[in-house]
Amino acid sequence: MLKTLHNQTRIQYFIGLAIGFLFGFLLQKGGVCYYDIIMQQLLLQDFTVVKIILTAIVTGMVGIYAMRDPGWINLHKKSGSLGATIPGPLIFGVGFAILGYCPGTSMGAAGHGALDAIIGGIIGIMAGAGLYAAVYPQLKKTILPFGSFGDKTLIDLFQPRNPWFVIIPVAVFITGFLAVMEIVGL
């Protein structure tokens, strides 16, 4: 692990900015910072969003697990529970369809001049997050811990002798799925 680099706050801010820059650049060039492209994905007419996400997952997954084996990186897994991981993302999905952007792509859309992403999206998302902070103590006491399942991964679930017995089939399955989409012309 590059511990010395990780502890240099200023350089880290610069790396964050640089990675964000390239991320935004790719999202814009991928066409997914546009309301019409995102909406056509949700209407199952255009599969650009799914193609980009699935390709990123396969690429990312193979590299991340390959770098984890020699201890170059740590995983950063998010814990979940039925009370957190289902209702929250469902509300997110409703908003996703009405707004037509997600948090990342609303910033990207702002970059090419989409005023609905700036005035509606960015302000709305901040307001929603602030609203969540206000009700967080109540939710934490009630629904959030319900049905907690921790930060399990699919590897923990199947417990193979070697984690690659799960990673490789997932990569093959996703790649095959993308190939089928191309063949049927989606």
Partner 1 sequence: MDILQTLSNYLSASIWPPYMVGVGIGILCWLAFLLSNHPIGVSTAFAKSAGMIETAIRGPEVRKKPYYQENRPTIDWEWMLVAGLFLGAFTAAWLSGDINWKWVPPMWEDTFGPSILLRLSAALFGGICVGFGARWGSGCTSGHGISGTLQLVLSSWIAVFCFFFAGVAVAFLMYRII
Residues 56-75 that bind partner 1 (CB under 8 A): 56-61, 63-64, 67, 72-75
The answer to whether residue 78 forms part of the interface with partner 1 (CB under 8 A) is yes
Applying CB under 8 A, the site for partner 1 has a residue count of 123
The answer to whether residue 123 forms part of the interface with partner 1 (CB under 8 A) is yes
Quote the least distance from Cβ 150 to partner 1, whole Å. Answer: 8
The answer to whether residue 86 forms part of the interface with partner 1 (CB under 8 A) is yes
Task: Return the residue of 70, 71, 130, 176 that touches partner 1, per CB under 8 A.
Answer: 130
CA distance 6 to 16: 11
Quote the least distance from Cβ 3 to partner 1, whole Å. Answer: 8
The answer to whether residue 90 forms part of the interface with partner 1 (CB under 8 A) is yes
Task: Return the residue of 142, 154, 169, 180 that touches partner 1, per CB under 8 A.
Answer: 154
List CB contacts of 15: < 8 A, sequence separation 6 or more: none
Q: Are 144 and 84 in contact (CB under 8 A)?
A: yes
List beta partners, residue 80.
Answer: 150
Q: Are 39 and 123 in contact (CB under 8 A)?
A: no
Which token pair is 161? 């002798």
Q: Are 149 and 81 in contact (CB under 8 A)?
A: yes
CA distance 48 to 45: 10
24-63 footprint of partner 1 as x/- string (CB under 8 A)? xxxxxxxx-xxxx--xx-xxx---x--xxxxxxxxxxx-x
